[in-house]
Amino acid sequence: MAEHPRTSTRIVLASRPDGEPTPDNFRAEVADLPEVADGQVLLRTVYLSLDPYMRGRMSTAKSYAAHLELGDVMVGGTVGEVLESRHPDLTEGDHVLAGAGWQSHAVVDGAHVRRLDPSAAPVSTALGVLGMPGFTAYSGLLKIGRPQPGETVVVAAATGPVGSAVGQIAKLKGARAVGIAGGPEKCRALLEEFGFDAAVDHRDPDFASRLAEAVPDGIDVYFENVGGHVAEAVMPLLNLYARIPVCGLVAQYNGVELERKDRLPGFFSLVLSKSLTVRGFIQNEFVPQMHDDFLAEASAWVRDGKLRYREDVVDGLENAPEAFIGMLQGRNFGKLLVRL
């Protein structure tokens, strides 16, 4: 049996970003691993998930989750291989979903991981289409958006792991899916790869009018991932009783000062006049009631080719900071993963 590692290479929060993160906000270091105690497992990280929410954890701004302290390992979902187990239900060689963060190895509580079946789907999907992003799309769309057959669903950041799933699930439920993305390549993929009914480039100088043309019957569900000028173009097109699941606001994650704060009364006027439902959510609130159904339904869709996904894989833990910075700038295409 190969000797187990005694140290872990990890990336920690070195300083807090002022606006967009920079490489200087991160620091690589090597730390000793603790002994594996009863109930614990030693994991080798195979894949690390990079997600927009991590930007919020780097800040001290009040949020739904505790912020990182300086020197803390960057948080993140991981797929790991069990190298040593002192948990009765896990054995060496198992692949598990964990939250080990930005590090090569970790000792974690076996009760806090979920064993994966590599024969059912590639293990990387546990961080994407069959993981937190996929469940975010499924729960937010079906619980809050409630698309009905024939309705129009619009989703921003539509080629991302959440947005691409939102559009496809909307189609599977009989709705019309319109995706908003940046650039002709992403818009083409929405139509040809993900099967959306229409795609609109938010970088187009005539974006607002192009969006209006794409939704001749108005918008019944707007799945919000972005905020900013995309949301502004959507608002006048919302139908009576439209639903807006608010999943993320990537345009504002770097702490850019919001301009023209006098827009808020206008927004509330719209909420009132069109009887809108606007509901922010964090996916884990729906886990108890929906996660089992999601895994069963989405796994079948993936297996049958009805729910397609794209992964953007970066090799090497040392490249995680640059990949993360690029993701916040919209440079990635699909679920961003670091392969260790």
pLDDT digits (tens, 9 = 90+) for 43-75: 999 999 999 889 989 988 777 678 899 999 999
106 with 164, same domain? no
**CATH label of the domain that carries residue 176:** 3.40.50.720
- Counted domains in the chain: 2
Contact 50, 76 (CB under 8 A): yes
Rounded distance between C-alpha atoms, residue 166 and residue 212, angstroms: 20
pLDDT for the residue numbered 1? 47
pLDDT score of 12: 98
Type of residue numbered 153 = V
Judge whether 176 lies within some domain.
yes
Question: What stretches of 207-286 show up as alpha helix (H) in DSSP?
Answer: 207-214, 228-234, 263-273
Residues 115 and 196 in one domain: no
Residue 257: predicted pLDDT: 44
For residue 44, tell me if it sits in a domain. Answer: yes
Whether residue 297 is contained in a domain is answered as no
> Tokens 């590090």 belong to which residue?
103
Residue with tokens 């969006």: 211
What is the pTM for the complete model shown?
A: 0.88
Q: Which residues of the chain have pLDDT under 50?
A: 1, 251-258
Q: Based on the domain organization, do 28 and 170 belong to the same domain?
A: no
Residue-level pLDDT at 250: 58
Query: Across the strands, what pairs with 12?
Result: 27, 73
pLDDT value of residue 2: 57
Q: What is the pLDDT of residue 262?
A: 53
105 lies in the same domain as 248: no
Q: What is the CATH number of the domain that holds 329?
A: 3.90.180.10
267 and 138 inside one domain: yes
Question: Looking at residue 126, what is its pLDDT?
Answer: 97
Q: What is the largest CA-CA distance in the chain?
A: 69
Interatomic CA distance for residues 139 and 46, integer angstroms? 27
Half-sphere exposure of 330 (CA within 13 A, CB side): 19
Q: Is residue 177 part of a domain?
A: yes
186 lies in the same domain as 277: yes
In a domain? residue 305: no
Secondary structure letter of residue 140 according to DSSP: I
Contacts of 194-198 with CB under 8 Å at 24 or more apart are 194/158, 194/159, 194/164, 194/167, 194/168, 194/308, 195/167, 195/168, 195/171, 195/308, 196/158, 196/167, 196/171, 197/171
- Spatial distance between the Cα atoms of 93 and 110, rounded to a whole number of angstroms: 14
Contact between 33 and 7 under an 8 Å Cβ cutoff? The reply is: yes
pLDDT at 329: 87
Are residues 198 and 323 both part of a single domain? Answer: no
Considering the domain architecture, whether residues 35 and 58 belong to the same structural domain is answered as yes
DSSP assignment of 199-227, as one string?
EEETTSTTHHHHHHHH-TT-EEEEEBS--
Is 304 a domain residue? no
Residue 289 lies in a domain: no
Are 118 and 155 in the same domain? Answer: no
Q: Where are the beta strands (DSSP E) in the chain?
A: 7-13, 26-32, 40-49, 78-85, 95-98, 105-109, 114-115, 152-155, 176-181, 198-201, 219-223, 238-246, 277-280, 311-315, 335-339
Q: What is the pLDDT of residues 125-169, one digit of tens each?
A: 999 999 999 999 999 999 999 999 999 999 999 999 999 999 999
Residue 202 buriedness (CB in 10 A; 0-12 / 13-18 / 19+): buried
Same domain membership, residue 179 and residue 44: no
Neighbours of 197 (CB within 10 A): 18
Domain membership of residue 95 as a residue range: 7-128+310-339
Q: Do 38 and 166 fall into the same domain?
A: no
Does 293 reside within a domain? Answer: no
Q: Do you know the residue count of the chain? A: 340
103 and 212 both lie in a single domain: no
| SS3 at position 28 | strand
pLDDT for residue 180: 97
